[in-house]
Structure 1
Amino acid sequence: MYRFLLVCVILLAFWLRLESLDTLPPALSDDEAVNVIDAFHIARTGVFPLYEDPNRPEPLYRIFLAVGTSVFGQSIWAFRFVTVLLGTLAVAAAAWAAAECLHNLGPQKRQLAALAAAGVLAVAISHITLSRALYRGLQQSLFMLLYTALLMRGLRRGHWRDFALSGFALSGAMYSYLAALAAAGVLAVAISHITLSRALYRGLQQSLFMLLYTALLMRGLRRGHWRDFALSGIALSGAMYSYLAALALPASLVAVGLSLLLFQRHRWRMWLPRMVVAGVVLTILMSFIIVLFTRNPVMIIGRAAELREGQGSFFEVQRFEALFAHFFTRGDDNPQYNVESAPFLPPVFNVLFVVGVVGLLTRYKKPSSALIGALFVLSALPEMSTSEIPHGLRASGQFAVFPLVVALGVGWLLQ
């Protein structure tokens, strides 16, 4: 029954993103048109830019579009259909990541929580709208969910492959959106510390990869299989090559490592070398960005530095009020995104989200709670670092987070 219901939710998500795609939205914004032109150029010549434009440096989304137009034809509908697929995959990844994060529950309770995670993302107007557009950031959540699922599965099974793939997923997040990059250096420090202690926005891909990262990481932690950790690293790398906003995500490995160090120190021989594998895979996949950053940092963080210039403290009260509003009362008022009346959360899920936050705090010893909490904070940083709050694209990593928090709410009520 669970599989049947999950397929129904995924089909509903696909229909909501595909219906009348040839007429809605009715036209392209300037940013969408640039993505289309770049993708046509890549598809025809096989030559694609890598971090040549400081305003739109991440390459992964345009590559996806180029592949899509080669498969589905040269039309605006074909480009939008690629994003529909990415958005639908994120819904499926949300269910997987939630199941891995809550594997301590019984099968039926875990499945209900997974269905809730998929359901809230399937019907979220903000996610549906970006899944029908041509912007870059939403793919980050897919890689984040893959990374989470693989890492949790790796910690559960102990398979090396899961850890390595989790690193691959994490690099995907970083190639999706720039905001995931900022903590790449933190990852190296954290691994050293653990060892010594012992529209078609790019954002669509970001949320998809974040969800995959989450599911894979949680499955890795549960099963202890190397493969899950490796796959979670791959998913996270996908988010980072999708949108600059994903650049802070490697710090989530720090949170998981510290949680394991505090509460599962007796199992260090299992998780420590496997976590290192995830970090090594991520570092290898991110080597291009690392080298480019040392030579010409403007090409990587130029846009982020420009937006941050002259801004006040992260901890101003109005920033937190605006972030709260983005989740519960209003969306991004930029007209090209067309989501001003659509906050992140569909109102019917508000209570479950709040309960999920409580559950996140009460199960603080679980590595999945450390991971989800870290992803929530890290995904909020790009949006809160500027005066443009709410900003749906810079906060697109939250599409990988709030479904998991809702799932935690269901799990907490059922336990």
Structure 2
Amino acid sequence: MIKNKTVLLLFLIVALAGFLRFWQLDKLPPGLYPDEAANGVNALQVLDNADFKVFYPENNGREGFFINLQALSVQVFGTTPWALRAVSALVGTLTILIFYFLLKELSAHIKKIEIFENLASTNFALLGAFLLAVNSWHIHFSRIGFRAITLPFLLSLAALFLLRAIRTRKTKEFIISGFWWGLGFYSYIGFRLAPLFGLVIFIFDSATWFLKKEVSFKKFLTQYIILGISVLITALPILGYFLSHPEDVSSRSSPISVFAAENPIIQLAISLGQTAIMFNLVGDWNWRHNAAGSSMLTYISGILFLVGILILIKAVIKSIKQKDLASSFPLVFVGAWFVVMLMPSFLTREGMPHALRSIGAIPAVIIFSTIGLVWIWKRFAANAKLAQKANFLLLIILVAISVENLHKYFIAWGQNEALPYAFRQDLTKIGDFLNAYDVSSGASQKYIIVNEYGVELNGIPVPSATIRFITGENPDIHYLKPEQLSQIQVDPENPIMVVFTAPNDSNLENELYKLFPSVQKIQEQIIYYKII
């Protein structure tokens, strides 16, 4: 009966997570940001050439796992923003399920802390899964077509099987864990620091082995060597790519590194401070990443997060006094995950604090919050006056957390007037208009003048990517830079359409009139020019 109840609750939590990540995904976020669309352009190229890559060097370089999944989605659902973002929503939803099993495995270690010795592992895991399911930070990136959402998913899998391997000492668990660690290198640049987290766990496990010696040293060391080999074999294709293309290893991170600053130490201190306050005080200012400036955690979640940290620190201090190494493992595990996965953020100096680069820390943040919540729940239950109402009070807290997070994402952020431009809805409208124009007016040639800056995607600034993807790389649509305006070829028999990605550019408009005196400016759903 208890098992069936647990399965039902887990199903409901995962279903809720899926609903929150897929609901109105075709409308929110609005538009399609060029970085998302660049993935889509690569996905179209994959489908055209049947060439799935481990790394896509365009647009500052992106690992291939997510883009290859998006290619499969585009194959099924077409060239729509939904097709790109549905992959994120699916990965985000599956992360909740994996996170449940991770917490269930971790609870065996948390029970070694005196105040949690009677903790039911399923309760702990269900509460943590629920907190992640409704967390606005995780929901946010589960609804955007950025590859970063695969990091918490794959790292949770790697950590889950590493914990299983440590508990069971079965070689197959080490092999499976190694596979997920290796696959993580195909996810997001931040995963490249994840081995530091794994190294901390190995060192702690080595210290535990030295004290207990439950298995032979040969078996202990051999299993970790096997894990390393599993990682290496899985990651070999992308490692081979980087060996042959070393310029792509740091193409994205080098210019924004704190070590590129005039005074790296001061810059590192500033970045650390900005990262430290992002959870409870001032968060990411980028509207694509967050309700600008609001803390990454809502009020109640933020308090639980701090309580959880304090509880684990207190447990470690006590374990040191009692020389009980096992009780300090939860803080070592969660703390190492938290710090290492914040490094991709605080080792940079651009756009700080940075919610996207910190995405790998979300599971650790939720574990801290879950520990804080369980501690408060236990305190209620231990109080004679509150014991009978403990479960009701827990329910009230969960409802309040849900309301806070859903209000933040769907209302405070989702209804803000800054979103259409943040996700370049104007470019999406151009793509939609061109598709409709094709249907109604036939084979007119169209020229898109990309009169804004950006890294280049196949020789054209990346803002063009949104239009390229929405129109399915239509061969009748040509993309030019402003200085290439003279390359427009007039067709005496058919009108030519010209569209600026950034409209109302008077200088560029004057140049167009000089080259083509017969041009007409037309404003419908978009502003465009017709050369007759």
Note if 1:58 corresponds to 2:60. no
CA–CA distance in structure 1, aligned partners of residues 340 and 82 of structure 2? 33
2:339 matched to which residue of 1? Answer: 377
Cα offset for 1:316? 4.3
Indicate the residue corresponding to 1:389 in structure 2.
Answer: 352
SS of aligned partner of 1:264: helix
CA distance in 2: counterparts of 1:343 and 1:147, whole angstroms? 29
C-alpha distance 52-84 of structure 1, shift in aligned 2 (>3 A): closer
Which whole-Å deviations, capped at 9, do the CAs of 1:43-98 have from their partners, x for residues lacking one?
33321344351612311110111122334444322222221111111112221111
Q: 1:288 and 1:73 mapped to 2: Cα distance? A: 29
Say whether residues 1:346 and 2:267 are aligned partners: no
Larger RCO: 1 or 2 (CA < 8 Å, sep 6+):
1
The answer for the alignment partner of 1:126 in structure 2 is 137
Q: Give 1:12's aligned amino acid.
A: L
Does 1:329 find its partner at 2:281? yes
- Which aligned pairs between 1:13-412 and structure 2 lie closer than 5 A? 13-53=17-57, 55-104=60-109, 105=111, 109-174=120-185, 241-265=186-210, 266-269=213-216, 271-308=220-257, 310-311=260-261, 312-313=264-265, 316-361=268-313, 362-363=315-316, 365-366=325-326, 367-387=329-349, 388-410=351-373
- Quickly say closer, same or farther: Cα 1:342–1:281, change in 2 above 3 A: farther
Q: Which sits farther off after the overlay, 299-308 or 259-268?
A: 259-268
Three-state SS of the structure 2 residue aligned to 1:303 is coil
Q: Name 1:237's counterpart in structure 2.
A: none
Q: Aligned partners of 2:22 and 2:338: how far apart in 1?
A: 29
Q: Structure 1 runs of 4+ off > 6 angstroms?
A: none
TM-fit CA distance, 1:314: 7.7
Change in 2 beyond 3 A, CA 1:18/1:277 = same
**Distance 1:15-1:52 versus aligned 2 partners, 3 A rule:** closer
| Alignment check: 8 A CA contact 1:57 1:300 kept | no
CA distance in 2, matches of 1:348, 1:149: 27
The letter of the residue matching 1:69 is V
Provide, for residues 214-261 of structure 1, a one-character-per-residue CA deviation record: whole Å limited to 9, x for no partner: xxxxxxxxxxxxxxxxxxxxxxxxxxx110111010122211111112
* Range with greater deviation from structure 2 (316-325 or 385-394): 316-325
CA contact (8 A) 1:124 1:344 kept: no
Q: Which has the higher helix share?
A: 1
Is contact 1:39–1:66 with CA below 8 Å preserved after alignment?
Answer: yes
> Which is further off, 261-270 or 84-93?
261-270
Deviations 1:290-341 (A, max 9, x none): 3344443221222212221523238844323211222123432223334425
Larger Rg, first or second structure (1 or 2): 2
Q: Does the 8 Å CA contact 1:289/1:300 hold for their aligned counterparts? A: no
TM-score by length of structure 2 reads: 0.61
Query: Matched residues in 1 for 2:15 and 2:158: separation?
Result: 24
Contact 1:332–1:390 (CA under 8 A) maintained in structure 2 = yes
1 CA distance for matches of 2:369 and 2:220? Answer: 27
2:16 aligned to 12, 15, 31, which one? Answer: 12
> 1:138 aligns to what SS in structure 2?
helix
Q: Alignment partner of 2:288: what SS?
A: coil
Shift of 1:146: 0.5
Instruction: Find the aligned partners of 1:77 and 1:51 in 2 and give their Cα distance.
Output: 23
CA contact (8 A) 1:376 1:401 kept: yes
Is 1:94–1:118's contact at 8 Å kept on the other side of the alignment? Answer: yes
Question: Which amino acid is 1:75 matched to?
Answer: T
CA distance in 2, matches of 1:412, 1:169: 32
Matched residue type, 2:100 = A
Match of 2:448 in 1: none
8 Å CA contact retained: 1:327, 1:344? yes
- Residue type at the aligned position of 1:150: F
Distance in 2, matches of 1:359 and 1:274, equals 33
How many residue pairs match? The answer is 349
Contact 2:54–2:238 (Cα < 8 Å) also in 1: no
* Secondary structure of residue in 2 paired with 1:246: helix
Residues 313 and 260 of structure 1, relative CA distance in 2, 3 Å threshold: same
CA separation of 1:109/1:87 partners in 2, compared to 1, >3 Å: closer, same or farther? same
SS at match of 2:187: strand
Contact 1:125 1:342 in 2 (8 A): no
Q: Which moved more, 1:346-355 or 1:15-24?
A: 346-355
